[in-house]
Amino acid sequence: MTHTLAIGPYNDDEKQGLTQDLSPIYLDGPSGVAGLDPAQRDAITAVAYKGHHPFGADEMTLLPNIGVIANYGVGYDAIDVAAANERGIKVSNTPGVLNDDVADIAVAMLIMQGREMEQASAWARSGNWAEKGEYRLNRKVSGGRVGIVGLGRIGREIANRLAAFKMDMHYWSRTEKDTPGWTHHSDPVSLASAVDYLIVALVGGPDTENFVSKDVIAALGPRGVVVNISRGSTIDEGALLDALESRAIAGAALDVFQGEPKIDPRFYALDNVVIQPHQGSGTVETRAAMAKLQRDNVLAFLAGDALLTPVN
Amino acid sequence: MTHTLAIGPYNDDEKQGLTQDLSPIYLDGPSGVAGLDPAQRDAITAVAYKGHHPFGADEMTLLPNIGVIANYGVGYDAIDVAAANERGIKVSNTPGVLNDDVADIAVAMLIMQGREMEQASAWARSGNWAEKGEYRLNRKVSGGRVGIVGLGRIGREIANRLAAFKMDMHYWSRTEKDTPGWTHHSDPVSLASAVDYLIVALVGGPDTENFVSKDVIAALGPRGVVVNISRGSTIDEGALLDALESRAIAGAALDVFQGEPKIDPRFYALDNVVIQPHQGSGTVETRAAMAKLQRDNVLAFLAGDALLTPVN
């Protein structure tokens, strides 16, 4: 009897690993749980979860014997951890292995926005360079003032990279961290007032919803740029769009959006936004490492060992 | 009588500075020198030069009393320094002030190439993200093997930034430098064999023409990526295009080209090349600093002082 349920859009390499290690039942999404027959559901003791559809109390109730939900990804806001706690279900995620990739994307998006690299590329490719001359001057990035919102594992990787660009480094976090001369702010408005580039590296979920509020965005001012590689939920997106459209801030570079992949079409009309399709961790190397860490958490649970990267 | 000749495509801010400091005669390019009347030419003692058209012995002969050619830009390969030396003419350039900008572009182009960020942007903007799902997985950048060709001022700035991406750092330079654990190679083929990302930061001019040869490119192998922020002349561009088309190497990210701005149309057909329109130093802040340093070199010469940033 199969003990593991693998839920989500796994690619072929990931399915091969899951089948080899766990021989799971596959479902495209959590809505399929109700369609399993009761004997199958009762036999399931572990869930390997991938995706952004909510996995909550209803699904857990349908799977009365699960002891672990192993999430694929560092952000586990799709999983109702409170409901899992009530049922004694352990939750794991895949931290660490994706920090470098997400930090790489954050730094590149920031420079692409300031240096208008997509527009400059289009200028060269359209023939304008040859016909009309140089692309217009843009904005120096190195030496600027950076504020990291959330100095966790990913925020720290971003900060370490940007420090090598001679940035004046600031950060918000609940507690002051041991940092090499970076300035701690206990209030996000204070942070935004002190910097030009605000980089959001928060955990998702209800606690951080709209943490980057209208007031935080306003405090950035006309030279301000918002970079988000965390979750769309962390920013008041309506306020951000208003500020971008009115040029109350200079621009944004976003890998994540509310309601993604169906993002607000107002973003498409803006020439001051770099858009990425939530590909922060989207490398062959890192996704393989994430998939393996997810499976290893399930295997540890099934063997009666402690989870490698527990959440709760 | 006007003593300074300002040659090149100066923008309005630059012209304002030149007029205020030097009240020069303006020419669009060196071909205009012959059109000045002999009395004007004889009165000229200083040239403020900007551009990529050759300024050589013929132009210098037409300006028999010039003592300085102050170049706008760090690369002065348009100026025939040997011809200047024969005539006792001093040449200056504008080093230092543009290093950060050029290094920023180099790092961003490298990540854009590996992470396919232009393609991913197009995937999101076209609606494919919503209709067809995630953009395809691409390639991890952090932790890769980097080779810097030419560890001068700009090469060092690039290397310092990339070291913060946990890269395995290698470099070629004529003499070994004092570096924090980076590996020196005395042969560019050896360097290319040891790395995935080859970043060209050479001085331009005849001494480095095609320095990144067919053999160097071949040594990179199928995971290899060429990044060039120096001069198009430093790479055997035909060999590079062949390697890109046949996938003998993985890709390229280029801010400079042979014959720019009319670049080889073979580049446009490739999906593995990031193209920028020679905008490495193209920020408002840095171009203002370059223009000021150019003028200050002319002013120093006219005052009988030593040049601030002499070339010869």
Each residue of A271-302: pLDDT tens digit?
Answer: 999 999 999 999 999 999 999 999 999 999 99
Calpha distance B13→B20 (Å, rounded): 11
Q: Which residue of B has its CA nearest to A126?
A: B268
User: Does residue A5 carry a pLDDT above 80?
Assistant: yes
Contact partners, residue B298, CB within 8 Å, separation at least 6: B4, B21, B22, B46, B48, B68, B70
What's phi and psi for B35, nearest 5 deg?
-85, -10
Calpha distance B293→B91 (Å, rounded): 13
Note every long-range contact of A299-307, with CB atoms under 8 Å and residues 24 or more positions apart, other chains counting. A299/A21, A299/A22, A301/A45, A301/A46, A301/A67, A301/A68, A301/A70, A301/A90, A302/A3, A302/A4, A302/A45, A302/A46, A307/A68, A307/A70, A307/A90, A307/A92
A263 in contact with chain B, both atoms CB, cutoff 8 A: yes
Portion of chain B with pLDDT greater than 90, in percent: 98
User: Does residue B2 carry a pLDDT above 90?
Assistant: no
Q: How far is CA B154 from CA A165, A186, B52, B97, B284, in A?
A: 13, 37, 20, 10, 19
- Contact list, B266 vs chain A (CB under 8 Å): none
Q: What pLDDT is recorded for position B98?
A: 95
Determine the average pLDDT of the residues in A149-170. 97
| Token pair listed for A8 | 């989500």
Half-sphere exposure of A72 (CA within 13 A, CB side): 26
pLDDT single digits (tens) A84-129: 999 999 999 999 999 999 999 999 999 999 999 999 999 999 999 9
User: Does residue A21 carry a pLDDT above 90?
Assistant: yes
A272 in contact with chain B, both atoms CB, cutoff 8 A: no
For an interface test with B, the pick among A140, A264, A268 (most B C-beta atoms closer than 10 Å) comes out as A140
What number of C-beta contacts closer than 8 Å exist between A and B?
173
Mean pLDDT across chain A, nearest whole number? 96
Element (H, E) at A96: none
User: Does residue B93 carry a pLDDT above 80?
Assistant: yes
- Contact list, B260 vs chain A (CB under 8 Å): 129
Q: What is the DSSP letter of A136?
A: P
Write down the ipTM of this complex. Answer: 0.92
A271-305 exposure pattern, b = at least 16 Cβ within 10 A, e = fewer: ebbbbbbbbbbbbebbbbbbbebbbbbbbbbbeee
Q: What pLDDT is recorded for position A116?
A: 98
Q: What is the DSSP letter of A308?
A: S
pLDDT single digits (tens) A183-200: 999 999 999 999 999 999
Query: Of A111, A130, A163, which has the smallest distance from its Cβ to B104's Cβ?
Result: A111
Active site residues of B: 231, 260, 278
Contact A142 B101 (CB under 8 A): yes
Q: What pLDDT is recorded for position A236?
A: 98
B164 in contact with chain A, both atoms CB, cutoff 8 A: yes
Q: What pLDDT is recorded for position B167?
A: 98
Calpha distance A10→B172 (Å, rounded): 43
Q: What pLDDT is recorded for position B193?
A: 98
pLDDT single digits (tens) B183-227: 999 999 999 999 999 999 999 999 999 999 999 999 999 999 999
Active site residue A278: yes
- Contact list, A136 vs chain B (CB under 8 Å): 282
Portion of chain A with pLDDT greater than 90, in percent: 98
Residue B140, judged by CB atoms within 10 A of its CB (0-12, 13-18, 19+), counts as buried
B265 in contact with chain A, both atoms CB, cutoff 8 A: no
Mean pLDDT across chain B, nearest whole number? 96
Reduce the secondary structure of chain B to three states and give it as a string.
CCCEEEECCCCHHHHHHHHHHHCCEEECCHHHHHHCCHHHHHHCCEEEECCCCCECHHHHHHCCCCCEEEECCCCCCCECHHHHHHCCCEEECCCCCCHHHHHHHHHHHHHHHHCCHHHHHHHHHCCHHHHHCCCCCECCCCCCEEEEECCCHHHHHHHHHHHCCCCEEEEECCCCCCCCCCEEECCHHHHHHHCCEEEECCCCCHHHCCCECHHHHHHHCCCCEEEECCCHHHECHHHHHHHHHCCCCCEEEECCCCCCCCCCHHHHHCCCEEECCCCCCCEHHHHHHHHHHHHHHHHHHHCCCCCCCECC
- Contact list, A159 vs chain B (CB under 8 Å): none
Query: Of A100, A129, A276, which has the smallest distance from its Cβ to B166's Cβ?
Result: A100
**CA of A69 vs chain B CAs: smallest distance (Å):** 23
Q: How far is CA B148 from CA A236, B206, B248, in A?
A: 42, 20, 20
Query: Of A104, A136, A261, which has the smallest distance from its Cβ to B165's Cβ?
Result: A104
A264 in contact with chain B, both atoms CB, cutoff 8 A: no
Confidence of residue A164 (pLDDT cuts 50, 70, 90): very high
Residue A98, judged by CB atoms within 10 A of its CB (0-12, 13-18, 19+), counts as buried
Confidence of residue B73 (pLDDT cuts 50, 70, 90): very high
Q: What pLDDT is recorded for position A1?
A: 52
Show the beta-strand stretches assigned E in A107-219: 145-149, 168-172, 183-185, 197-200
Radius of gyration of chain A (CA): 22
User: Does residue B1 carry a pLDDT above 90?
Assistant: no
Contact B283 A137 (CB under 8 A): yes
User: Does residue A138 carry a pLDDT above 90?
Assistant: yes
What's phi and psi for A265, nearest 5 deg?
-65, -15
Contact A279 B125 (CB under 8 A): no
Q: What pLDDT is recorded for position B35?
A: 95
pLDDT single digits (tens) A51-70: 999 999 999 999 999 999 99
Contact partners, residue B3, CB within 8 Å, separation at least 6: B22, B43, B44, B45, B46, B302
Q: Which residue of A has its CA nearest to B278?
A: A134
The candidate with the shortest Cα–Cα distance to A146, out of A115, A177, A101, A114, is A114
pTM of the model: 0.92
Q: What pLDDT is recorded for position A2?
A: 72
Q: What pLDDT is recorded for position A240?
A: 98
Q: What pLDDT is recorded for position B221?
A: 98
